[in-house]
């Protein structure tokens, strides 16, 4: 290891609350580094991830959690793992509530009659029979709704018009998505009949973005939907005339008792420590509007292809196993991941050596972040250095592991983030436009190349990331 790497490890160690001395650093074998380089370069010539993604989105299509299509996807995943020759393939049960979208419509009744393009938010209840006809109560932000007096809301349809900002990192999502997650309960507490939000997305297409609503126990449940961004702009303009605006909104959905779904797992067995494993995660379910190509079919394909490339192309198996977990029901609230973490905590979570998740579309990886012990930082630094020719830099922030794998991070597993360029991710996210034609095969290869570097080195290094 170079002095530059030692200094980098020391600096990051201090940031993480500890200091590793050179004597504590378990070296990374030159042979491992050379194998990672070879795998990286082979990945750039390999289209297996794109082929897997095309198969999933064509043969199965949309994969709404707990639906027959998610069950089809799980059968597809088992068959593909076996076809690819993974050493172990199995399913772990997950109980998932079954929500179904039936119908949705909205139109302006007064003062300028016209239809609006909407989609029900996931887990939304139905409107009463005959729909809801009411005046609009407009709030620019979720915070404005929270600050409003109940008299401004009671008996009305709440409309929140906050606009999501575009960032490479997707940083605009968190501030904007509060309207989707918490808006319905906040509006219901103040007597609203229903809620509409501007879609949580960065596009200007007339395609609304769905996504889950979170009902809180202390509030009534009201129907919740998202307007496409152009329709939200139109409604804001209509409200600008200063006249009373009335809408007619009808949403029909069903929510049934939980059904048994599965996390599907494929494993490449390690050569020396097969009971220890590196986790590669993604989620197999999708929303029902598109075909789930970027969210998260791309992640499924990237992680499966990365593990398969190692088992097919590496001159020798890494010392640890590689576990690819395709989680169920992420979109309905990280259900598969939370149940997996609960099932493995206190059982074999200590065998989950390190993990990461691909769940931010198909844009190229541009940075590598980690949350590991100080004595392992030099290994992550070497991973980043080997990813350098791919355009990847070492991030100076802690990793959280992604939505699903992050649940394992919460119970003690070290994690990395292979950060993707999400500049246009939220143009497509949760819309009917989430389809295979939006995926660049070259970017998909670059993702696999970055993932094989991380995966092989993590699985072959004899030290601990904990």
Average pLDDT over residues 443-447: 98
CB 125 within 8 A of CB 223: yes
Average pLDDT over residues 462-466: 96
Q: Which residues pair with 420 in a beta bridge?
A: 365
Q: Span 3-87+269-460: which CATH code? A: 3.40.630.10
- Using alpha carbons, select from 64, 93, 81 the residue that is nearest to residue 261: 93
Read off the DSSP letter of residue 128: P
Active-site hit among 70, 186, 276, 330: 330
Q: Which helix (H) or strand (E) holds 444?
A: helix 441-460
Residue 306 Cα distances to 49, 289, 444, angstroms: 8, 28, 11
C-alpha span between 309 and 314 (Å, rounded): 8
pLDDT band at 2 (very low <50, low <70, confident <90, very high): very low
Domains 3-87+269-460 and 99-256 fall in the same CATH topology: no
Q: Residue 160: what are its φ and ψ, rounded to 5°?
A: -110, 125
- Which residue ranges make up each domain of the chain? 3-87+269-460, 99-256
The pLDDT tens digits for 125-147 are 999 999 999 999 999 999 999 99
Burial of 315 (0-12, 13-18, 19+ CB in 10 A): exposed
Fold (CATH) for 99-256: Glucose Oxidase; domain 1 (3.50.30)
3-state secondary structure of 79: helix
pLDDT score, position 19 = 53
pTM: 0.94
C-alpha span between 274 and 282 (Å, rounded): 22
Q: Residue 276: what are its φ and ψ, rounded to 5°?
A: -105, 145
pLDDT surpassing 50 at residue 7: no
Q: What is the DSSP string of 219-249?
A: S---EEEEE-HHHHHHHHHHHTT-S--EEEE
pLDDT band at 21 (very low <50, low <70, confident <90, very high): low
Q: CB-based contacts of 348: which residues, under 8 Å, 6+ apart? A: none
Take residue 327 and report the two structure tokens written for it. Answer: 């989680």
pLDDT band at 354 (very low <50, low <70, confident <90, very high): very high
pLDDT surpassing 90 at residue 341: yes
pLDDT surpassing 90 at residue 436: yes
Active site residue 330: yes
Take residue 253 and report the two structure tokens written for it. Answer: 């959905």
Q: CB-based contacts of 177: which residues, under 8 Å, 6+ apart? A: 164, 200, 211
pLDDT score, position 198 = 98
The pLDDT tens digits for 178-219 are 999 999 999 999 999 999 999 999 999 999 999 999 999 999
pLDDT surpassing 80 at residue 3: no
- Using alpha carbons, select from 269, 212, 349, 293 the residue that is nearest to residue 49: 293
Average pLDDT over residues 458-463: 98
């Amino acid at each position: 290891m170079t002095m530059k790497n030692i200094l980098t490890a020391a600096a990051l160690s201090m940031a993480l609350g500890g200091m590793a001395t050179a004597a504590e650093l378990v070296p990374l074998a030159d042979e491992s580094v050379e194998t990672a380089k070879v795998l990286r370069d082979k990945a750039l010539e390999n289209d297996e991830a794109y082929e897997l993604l095309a198969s999933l989105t064509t043969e199965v299509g949309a994969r709404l959690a707990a639906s027959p299509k998610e069950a089809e996807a799980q059968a597809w995943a088992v068959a593909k793992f076996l076809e690819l020759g993974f050493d172990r393939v199995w399913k772990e049960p997950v109980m998932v509530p079954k929500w179904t979208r039936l119908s949705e419509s909205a139109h302006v009744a007064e003062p300028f009659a016209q239809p609006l393009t909407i989609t029900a938010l996931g887990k939304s209840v139905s409107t009463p029979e005959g729909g809801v006809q009411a005046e609009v109560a407009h709030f620019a932000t979720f915070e404005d709704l929270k600050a409003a007096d109940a008299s401004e809301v009671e008996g009305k349809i709440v409309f929140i018009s906050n606009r999501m900002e575009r960032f490479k990192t997707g940083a605009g999502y968190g501030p904007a998505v509060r309207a989707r997650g918490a808006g319905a309960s906040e509006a219901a507490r103040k007597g609203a009949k229903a809620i509409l939000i501007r879609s949580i997305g960065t596009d200007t297409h007339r395609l609304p973005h769905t996504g889950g609503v979170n009902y809180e126990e202390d509030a009534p449940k009201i129907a919740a939907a998202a307007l496409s961004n152009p329709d939200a702009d139109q409604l804001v303009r209509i409200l600008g005339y200063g006249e009373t605006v009335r809408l007619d909104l009808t949403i029909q959905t069903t929510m049934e008792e939980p059904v048994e779904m599965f996390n599907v797992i494929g494993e490449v067995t390690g050569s020396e420590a097969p009971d220890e494993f590196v986790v590669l995660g993604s989620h197999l379910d999708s929303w029902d509007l598109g075909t789930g190509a970027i969210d998260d079919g791309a992640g499924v394909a990237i992680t499966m292809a990365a593990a398969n490339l190692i088992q097919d192309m590496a001159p020798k198996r890494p010392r640890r196993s590689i576990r690819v977990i395709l989680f169920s029901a992420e979109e309905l609230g990280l259900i598969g991941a939370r149940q997996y973490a609960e099932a493995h905590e206190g059982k074999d979570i200590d065998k989950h050596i390190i993990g990461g998740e691909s769940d931010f579309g198909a844009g190229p990886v541009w940075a590598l972040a980690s949350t590991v012990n100080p004595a392992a930082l030099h290994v992550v630094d070497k991973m980043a250095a080997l990813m350098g020719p791919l355009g990847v830099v070492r991030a100076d922030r802690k990793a959280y592991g992604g939505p699903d794998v992050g649940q394992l991070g919460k119970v003690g597993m070290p994690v990395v983030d292979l950060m993707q360029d999400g500049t246009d991710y939220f143009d497509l996210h949760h819309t009917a436009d989430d389809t295979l034609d939006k995926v660049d095969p070259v970017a998909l290869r670059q993702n696999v190349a970055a993932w094989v570097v991380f995966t092989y080195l993590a699985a072959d290094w004899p030290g601990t990331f904990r």
